[in-house]
Structure 1
Amino acid sequence: MISREELYTLVWAGPGKAAAAHLGVSDSYLCRVCTALDVPRPGRGWWVLRAAGTAPPPPPLPPARPGLPSHWRKGGQGLPPIKPFYRRDIWSFPPRDGSHPLVHIARVIFGRAGDGRDRKHLSTRSLNAIDLTISAEMLESALSFANGLFNAFEARGHTVRIEPRSGFIRPALENWSRPPDRTSHIPLALWSPVAPTIATISGVPVGLAILEISKEVEMRYMGNGKFDRASSTRLVDGITWTEWQRAPAGRLKLVAYSPHHPAPWRREWIEARRNSLGRMAQAIVGELEAEAPTLPHAGYFLRRPGGGPVV
């Protein structure tokens, strides 16, 4: 495994092919690793200019930015995949506009996503998708909240990462503000991520999931497989009926949970009105900071040097 600082030293110590051979990768892949870790590297012709004594000095290594990988290992086991951080259709360069990198990637992933099994929420099988159960109409509101929340965690020294192949679990979650009444017999068919989104708070991992709340709505069959609200004044030709269905309510719920089996802990924050959760980001981080050392799974991670799950 190599850190950003070690990679920076390596690529400025000798030509790229030598550095790539040292890591056991190709020159082009080394460039991708540098891009993913936000490590500047010599441009074309720099080593020729250096031999002539006219090369400009190496640029300094910029400070690590929230959400970007800080280490790389060939094969990537136990580390976030670097592919999304060098894919050209997502990055021309890592975001410097205040967007958290995971949110920057999520905007692309969910912008291309289709409907899930419930035909109400977006669904993707991307390894790099944050835990977001959301309708297309509420996508931007959810991303805005995620951006504020993730940046609030990072500003206080707590990393937020997607953790594939890490040993962490993501339990089944519901998106109700209160238990359903008329649709309780219908099984949940919510999308769930391939990998959990984890905030590490003073060494204690906490899973984070953002879900759009569902509500029960009486719908009338309008023909051609389509439904409309039963309260609609539209006339229906032919056979019709009404039934209760679930529909996105346009409000968000944040669920924080234990990602370590078998510690059953969960905490929820629910919007009373649309976009009200975003104003609570700093307070939520503060509450989790205070609670993290007392969580059921905290002792396991705090006893281990450097923390981290069993894999």
Structure 2
Amino acid sequence: MISRDELYKLVWSEPMTKVATRFDVSGSYLARMCTLLNVPRPERGYWAKLAVGKASAQPPLPAALPGDPLHWSKEGERLPVAKVEVPKPPVPSGKKPSIPRDCSHGLIRGAKAHFEKTRQIEEWDYLKPYKKLLVDVVTSREGLDRALSLANDLFNALESMGHRVVMAPTQESMRRVNVDTPSVDYWHHTRYWSPYRPTVVYVGSIAIGLIIFEYPETATLRYLNGKYVRDTVELERRHSRNSYRSWTTTRELPSGRFRIFAYSPYHSVSFSRTWDETKTASLRPKLKGIAQEIEAMAPKLAQDLEKARREAEVRHQQWLVEEDRRKREEDQKRIRQSEAESDADLRKIIGTWSEVVGVERFLAGVEQRAEQLSPDERLRVQDRLTLAREFLGTQDPLDFFLNWRTPVERYQPRYPENE
């Protein structure tokens, strides 16, 4: 893992190809990492110009913006996350922020074409684009232009107040709530499309999730010519007498009205706030106020995050104490078990020793009796004794005793006080 400061020093100390070789990557890949971490790098031909004293001045490393990655790891290890701080209240300038409506926000620019490349849906259903790294907008084809325009104006309003709107950084594990059940994260099943990463606005270092959602309403669909279409008064009058060829059903369909979600993308804190359009009131005139309300959420969210962090630390310390207690108990249990097994094994060896002594006494008695037999019979008995000893194997009790394992040989205590 390398920080952006370290990467900046490296790329200005030697050519990119040499730096890339250190990390076993290509020069073009390292250049993309410099772009991702907002690290300026030497232009083409810089080192040749430097050799003759004609190179341009080295630009300074720009300060990282909220949400910018601060580290890069080729191995994919977990990267440290910037500390969350309570944002300072803005200094009133005496001038109201203006919304540059003619400016297309970076997240909106080019998004329409990707939304229109959708999976197969009914003409009245929600879009489900193939591209998943998109601005968090959930809408129908008919409402797409209005949804993107509303998102663009909201993002511009927030950025005019000095708050950056971006897709959630990959190094920060942020959740995205479901638009139908805001208390449930995006792993829960939902009928709506969702992006790979949430769209967030940074108020200071605090991220707040944003979703533009064309919320549904109950509508009537009529089955005609093999498909469902929205029912109208004219269709109902025309087909009411032909119910065997046409029938109706109710579904939750896009309403043409929008809801703005603002929510906590942090797993440790849950909250969400919504603003809804109605048939008579649009959200567009309220965007300045909505942006100010979103800004005002950040201090409370920062406090909740700090409280959650302290509670998590307490739980972690309690877990460590409990884990230490469990390991000590397990250590004592293993010690008692090793002692019991060693004792049982020793008693078994003693019993085996007695048995071996009896066998040896039996074989010695047979051998003694064989001395009284004729030479042929004595030879026959001695051959059988030899076969018997080979069959029984070692009969030296000392071999059994040397194979016995003491309790410490069976298990080495992990805690000296348990020995």
TM score, norm. by length of structure 1: 0.69
Does the 8 A contact of 1:78 with 1:164 survive in 2?
no
- For residue 395 of structure 2, what is the aligned residue in structure 1? none
Which of 1 and 2 has higher RCO (CA within 8 Å, sep 6+)?
Answer: 1
Work out which of the residue numbers 242, 254, 260 in structure 2 matches 1:254. 260
The residue matched to 2:211 in structure 1 has which SS?
strand
Q: CA deviation at 1:22?
A: 4.6
Cα distance in structure 1, aligned partners of 2:221 and 2:174 = 40
Residue 276 (str. 1) matches residue 282 (str. 2): yes
Cα distance in structure 1, aligned partners of 2:169 and 2:46 = 37
- For residue 143 of structure 2, what is the aligned residue in structure 1? 138
Q: CA deviation at 1:240?
A: 0.7
Unmatched tracts of structure 2, length 5 or more: 80-101, 182-188, 311-419
The residue matched to 1:122 in structure 2 has which SS?
coil
1:201-220 residue pairs with structure 2 within 5 A?
Answer: 201-220=203-222
The residue matched to 2:287 in structure 1 has which SS?
helix
- For residue 29 of structure 1, what is the aligned residue in structure 2? 29
Residue 47 (str. 1) matches residue 40 (str. 2): no
Work out which of the residue numbers 103, 107, 113 in structure 2 matches 1:102. 107
Taking structure 1 as reference, are residues 126 and 159 closer, same or farther at Cα in structure 2, changes over 3 Å only? same
- For residue 150 of structure 1, what is the aligned residue in structure 2? 155
Cα distance in structure 2, aligned partners of 1:114 and 1:11 = 43
The residue matched to 1:102 in structure 2 has which SS?
coil
Q: Which has the larger radius of gyration?
A: 2
Letter matched to residue 71 of structure 1: L
Does the 8 A contact of 1:78 with 1:166 survive in 2?
no
Q: CA deviation at 1:191?
A: 2.2
Taking structure 1 as reference, are residues 303 and 9 closer, same or farther at Cα in structure 2, changes over 3 Å only? farther
Does the 8 A contact of 2:115 with 2:128 survive in 1?
yes
Letter matched to residue 138 of structure 1: G
Higher relative strand content? 1
Cα distance in structure 2, aligned partners of 1:169 and 1:66 = 17
- For residue 13 of structure 2, what is the aligned residue in structure 1? 13
Q: CA deviation at 1:271?
A: 1.9
Work out which of the residue numbers 266, 290, 294 in structure 1 matches 2:296. 290
Cα distance in structure 1, aligned partners of 2:111 and 2:27 = 29
Cα distance in structure 1, aligned partners of 2:256 and 2:161 = 30
Cα distance in structure 2, aligned partners of 1:274 and 1:26 = 57
The residue matched to 1:290 in structure 2 has which SS?
helix
Does the 8 A contact of 1:197 with 1:209 survive in 2?
yes
Taking structure 1 as reference, are residues 158 and 301 closer, same or farther at Cα in structure 2, changes over 3 Å only? farther
Q: Cα deviation per residue 1:164-221 (whole Å; 9 max; x = unaligned)? A: 574433333229xxxxxxxxxxx96222333333334344432222111222222322
Letter matched to residue 29 of structure 1: Y
Work out which of the residue numbers 219, 223, 226 in structure 2 matches 1:224. 226
- For residue 72 of structure 2, what is the aligned residue in structure 1? 73
State the Cα RMSD in Å: 4.0
Does the 8 A contact of 1:215 with 1:249 survive in 2?
yes
- For residue 192 of structure 1, what is the aligned residue in structure 2? 194
Cα distance in structure 1, aligned partners of 2:175 and 2:223 = 40
Bigger mean CA offset, 116-125 vs 244-253: 116-125
Give aligned-pair identity as a percent: 36
